Structure 1
């Protein structure tokens, strides 16, 4: 009986040992398989965070216009008898540009001058005779009235003759000639445009909230896509006295230096208004920031030493950041990142907190504060 019990206990122990041994073996194999299925290091590109001095600015778009600009035209009708300018020429104030036929008007002017001269002779003679009571004071008064009337007619005719000569009202550059020699012009027919190019105005709009940061004399810089990479300095010269009720914006005007006449009226311009002293910010490529409704995220790369094979062990660490202004391809980071931090700039979509990473900086995302788009 005892022998049977011992045999039964031995068999029971063998069965239980087999069961527990199999479970231990299964757990070990599962652990080994799961370890082999762990995420491999993800390839990312990185940059080292560094501080830059950023000039606080307000940006707007505007349109250039001449300080003085006019479309010249005659005040009276007439036939073009002489053209004294070339298209695109620079002229000075008072330069004669065009003449209309005026022979008849000049002849009439000479006749009126003769009449006025005769009226003066009569008036001077009668003024002497009135003292000797030879003629009455009424005659002298009539003579004086005739003289004043004759002189007024001379002045009127002289103005008409002057209207037949078109001169430059200010110094500037002419446009394309619109009339030809021998052409009959009605009053008001455009002859040519005249623009004063240096200095030149740029008109632009700012939201009403920006008024607290803007004042007359504030420096500005303008850029036009005609001259990539070039800036034109100037300063605010006027602020409109009312807000546009439709857009709640205010119109501003800045005066720009244009020594080489590179800027022309009508050009589209981007205007940067300097509002304060430069400030130091940590800047990153905009691709480094994951913008979310619950916060903006970047991934930092931590160095966890080396593994058994001497290879560096790098991992990603997710942090929330506060961003500021953007400029070109860059964004200012107000808090969350400091100088020297290694920040992931590409490949972060496949990362999670603590994920192993492998750095490959063969290709880097754009990081230019003043990018110039290619036409190709």
Structure 2
């Protein structure tokens, strides 16, 4: 092989090693050919003619990181019902105003009950008469002036009269439409004097002191969702305002169509800003790490599915493999491979190789969170 061919081969091998060989630990091209590299001019081992390479470093910082997933959700009232009548009748009085807060059990609408009240009065009169006859019969029993069969008949009549009274009371109660729980009534759908039928919509009632927000999360996050996890929601209707709640229920089934699980969160809504049906952007906290290690994004040297950084130790750039975690704006979390405070090269990594002498020309700092 001629000297020119050797030089060409060495040049090609050197270019390939510059871009790839150092990353995977190959020997320099001269060593591969069994030749010895000439000594560096300028004294330092591998430092080149200009001496140690100048680099800018930044210490590995410790900060809190929050791993979260974003979704969209819809506000639901904690309790919501459409108020209807059980029986037919004429609306006698309406005891609420639209949008009013009402207490549980309060009467919203009273239907005309004149006929039932008369029926109830008659039933009570019959009951009183039956009871009086029974009392007199029992008083005469001691003298054996009344047969036992007659006494049993009077007792049965008294019970029947009491049953008719209870029945009339129940029917009278059905003419009062009551609030099943405390909440805010919606728009009124009937007017006084209107004849309504069973099932006629009168109004709506929503308990919005606390609301529920339903959203879906991809199934890959299922193992990290917990009841009580923090949830943050926002709406374009309220600008930069953030609403904070917690996970209340996690569905027991995965949706086979979307491969997601439905999550229900609860939010305090004392000012009633969150209205049922409101569309929200939701952020669910999956994990919080108070002492996470962070480095600048430009310090990462990726090779395939692996990642490396250069750490300055004893005046030399040590190539260190790291395991990455959460990515933040301009920073990357390091899960394994570094310790807090270690100086990591953030400028000039293109000129570095493992164990190369370096000179720190600047140390960047960031405020700790």
TM-score computed with the length of structure 2 as normaliser: 0.63
Q: 103, 110, 114: which one pairs with 1:92?
A: 103
Give the Cα–Cα distance (whole angstroms) in 1 for the partners of residues 293 and 323 of structure 2. Answer: 15
Q: 229, 232, 235: which one pairs with 1:224?
A: 235
Task: Note if 1:102 corresponds to 2:117.
Answer: no
Partner secondary structure for residue 201 of structure 1: strand
In structure 2, the partner of 1:67 is 78
Give the Cα–Cα distance (whole angstroms) in 2 for the partners of residues 236 and 254 of structure 1. Answer: 4
Q: 278, 303, 309: which one pairs with 1:267?
A: 278
Task: Note if 1:208 corresponds to 2:219.
Answer: yes
* Kept after mapping to 2: 8 A contact 1:54/1:281: no
* Kept after mapping to 2: 8 A contact 1:325/1:331: no
In structure 1, the partner of 2:181 is 170
Task: Note if 1:185 corresponds to 2:196.
Answer: yes
**Superposition deviation, residue 121 in structure 1:** 1.1
Partner secondary structure for residue 98 of structure 1: strand
* Kept after mapping to 1: 8 A contact 2:91/2:191: yes
* Kept after mapping to 2: 8 A contact 1:79/1:184: yes
**Superposition deviation, residue 243 in structure 1:** 2.6
**Superposition deviation, residue 322 in structure 1:** 9.6
Give the Cα–Cα distance (whole angstroms) in 2 for the partners of residues 202 and 283 of structure 1. Answer: 36
Pick the structure with more strand per residue.
2
Give the Cα–Cα distance (whole angstroms) in 2 for the partners of residues 119 and 331 of structure 1. Answer: 90
In structure 1, the partner of 2:142 is 131
* Kept after mapping to 1: 8 A contact 2:64/2:288: no
Partner secondary structure for residue 277 of structure 1: strand
The alpha-carbon distance between structure 1 residues 72 and 334, as it changes in their structure 2 partners (threshold 3 A), is same
Give the Cα–Cα distance (whole angstroms) in 2 for the partners of residues 70 and 137 of structure 1. Answer: 54
In structure 2, the partner of 1:255 is 266
Task: Note if 1:233 corresponds to 2:258.
Answer: no
Write the deviation string for residues 41-90 of structure 1: whole angstroms up to 9, x where unpaired. xxxxxxx9x97743111222222111111111111111111111111111
Give the Cα–Cα distance (whole angstroms) in 2 for the partners of residues 233 and 277 of structure 1. Answer: 16
Task: Note if 1:76 corresponds to 2:75.
Answer: no
Write the deviation string for residues 286-312 of structure 1: whole angstroms up to 9, x where unpaired. xx9xxxxx899xxxxxxxxxxxxxxxx
Partner secondary structure for residue 226 of structure 2: coil
**Superposition deviation, residue 111 in structure 1:** 0.7
The alpha-carbon distance between structure 1 residues 117 and 212, as it changes in their structure 2 partners (threshold 3 A), is same
In structure 1, the partner of 2:163 is 152
**Superposition deviation, residue 281 in structure 1:** 4.4
Give the Cα–Cα distance (whole angstroms) in 2 for the partners of residues 119 and 249 of structure 1. Answer: 67
Give the CA RMSD over aligned residues.
3.4
TM-score computed with the length of structure 1 as normaliser: 0.62
Write the deviation string for residues 312-367 of structure 1: whole angstroms up to 9, x where unpaired. xxxxxxxxx9987677xx475457xx989479xxxxxxxxx99xxxxxxxxxxxxx
Q: How many residues align?
A: 268
- Stretches of structure 2 that go unaligned for 5 or more consecutive residues are 1-57, 299-303, 307-321, 335-342, 352-369
Q: 193, 202, 205: which one pairs with 1:194?
A: 205
Partner secondary structure for residue 177 of structure 1: coil
In structure 1, the partner of 2:124 is 113
Give the Cα–Cα distance (whole angstroms) in 2 for the partners of residues 114 and 339 of structure 1. Answer: 97
* Kept after mapping to 1: 8 A contact 2:326/2:333: no
Give the Cα–Cα distance (whole angstroms) in 1 for the partners of residues 76 and 241 of structure 2. Answer: 19
